[in-house]
Amino acid sequence: MSPSDAKEAPRYTKKDFESDQDVRWCPGCGDYAILSAVQKTMPDLGVPKEDIVFISGIGCSSRFPYYMNTYGFHTIHGRAPAIATGLRVARPDLKIFVVTGDGDGLSIGGNHMLHVLRRNVNLVILLFNNRIYGLTKGQYSPTSELGKVTKSTPIGSADRPVNPLAFALGCGATFVARTVDRNIPHMDEMLKRAATHKGTAFVEILQNCNVYNDLAWTSSTTASRRCSTSSGSSTASRSSSGRPTIGAR
């Protein structure tokens, strides 16, 4: 029997985790699918709603906490892992999620990402990777392909992309996973497994930006992508059914 003073999580439904705020992502954004999957996963964690905190930085993905009916803190660009570390030190009893993106987490906040993983701080990091800066209207990101043509790289990016999982492993991450916005069952499973990991769980979620980087993770060539990916960071591709699968090359 569980001790009488232990907090018992009430039975929740997805609805309990939906906040009263209007969701303000672009129609068709991959973020909707991720938000829905996270809200759906929450009841399965067995954690009281009031003990859950979502922390984010800046970017499209970082609006996430406003839409979760939990405690949330939308902070400044790149610093969510550091804010979350401070919160974790103050409050070991909370369940903490960091929501970040490829720019927020790997560019301006790359240093914090390195150290949160190295320290193995007990929290979950959801890195939405759409290979573009969306909120600033379409500049290339640290995961954009070599040669990527964007507003800031009119003749193509000269920078090689970083592979988020290789980066995480290099930092000594104790849990890494990659999933895709369009494969909900797989994403549900990854979220659950990440949430039960003790230490830092790093989950990269491949995600489409239908406004500034449509078909971000398809291997088909589009006008904005002259070179195919060469770094090996792209392990998702579209199967014959039109659904993205992992590692099918």
CA proximity to 116, closest of 187, 240, 201, 46: 201
Say what the alpha-carbon torsion angle 107, 91, 18, 193 is, to the nearest 10 degrees. 70
Q: Which of 18, 36, 75, 186 binds another protein (CB under 8 A)?
A: 75
- Judged by beta carbon, residue 36 or residue 75, the one nearer another protein is 75
Stretch that binds another protein, among 50-58, 170-178, 208-216, 230-238 (CB under 8 A): 50-58
Name the residue nearer to another protein (CB basis): 111 or 152.
111
Q: Are 132 and 112 in contact (CB under 8 A)?
A: no
Kindly write out the interface string for residues 84-113 of this chain, putting x where it contacts another protein by CB under 8 A and - elsewhere: xxxxxxxx-xx----------------xx-
Shortest Å, Cβ 45 to another protein = 15
The residue (of 39 and 70) whose beta carbon lies closer to another protein is: 70
- For residue 71, the minimal CB distance to another protein (Å) is 4
Q: What are the CA-CA distances from residue 243 to residues 140, 217, 236 (Å)?
A: 25, 11, 10
Q: Is 126 in the site for another protein (CB under 8 A)?
A: no
Residue 169, phi then psi, degrees to nearest 5: -65, -40
Q: By CB under 8 A, which span of 29-37, 80-88, 133-141, 146-154 interacts with another protein? A: 80-88
Query: Phi and psi for 103 in degrees, rounded to 5?
Result: -75, -50
Letters for 150-189 (x = contact with another protein by CB under 8 A, - = none) are ----------------------------------------
To the nearest whole angstrom, how small is the minimum distance from the Cβ of residue 150 to another protein?
26
Q: Which residues bind another protein (CB under 8 A)?
A: 19, 21, 48-51, 53, 55, 58, 65-66, 68-76, 79, 82-91, 93-94, 111-112, 114-115
